[in-house]
Structure 1
């Protein structure tokens, strides 16, 4: 537990632990910086509150599959809504955790900001179109 806590708190990528209903139970400083909210604010939220509307359906479908046990982990690129209103692109890897009876308990989520890469790709496409 102590080793995990040290890794969790000092990791350079966002890390989040969610509860059974997708509520944000804990998050590290890297994730808080990514979305612009404090842990106290995030503790009152779910991922639905910070997921871009265009990515909501896909995120909810994957979450249902995790909770049902049909899928134990997944990785997607998705957009988050920063507190300031700007969009943050990230690679999100989610790992579901189940209790000894196989019931969904919670998830550990790793989030890597890829906004700069997405912006560079868009700039390259624009320059190629000219």
Structure 2
């Protein structure tokens, strides 16, 4: 079955390490729970959930919490550091699509950030304070 999120240059994606003695089970559950609010966000904007959208929004959330700005190259590097093999062009296209749908905004310095409405949806869903609104 074709997977559009895998590289198409003929290279193989390395197989992930199998979970030993249940150590990865808790990490997987925590990640899934963390992604749930991003899934709700995407659904509220009428978008389907995909791995690349989840990871791109997660990268922007982490950058905002660290008070950093990320452009296309920064998001791409963040994803590569997580061993997520996505092309630069794929990341750029996802950012453009999320921007056109109003989920994120393109700042004057060519960095991306979550739209205030998206932040409100994320933090109203999780019950956290909306400290990123500022």
Give the TM-score category using the shorter length: under 0.3
Give the number of the structure whose residues are more often strand, by fraction: 1
Structure 2-normalised TM-score? 0.24
Structure 1-normalised TM-score? 0.24
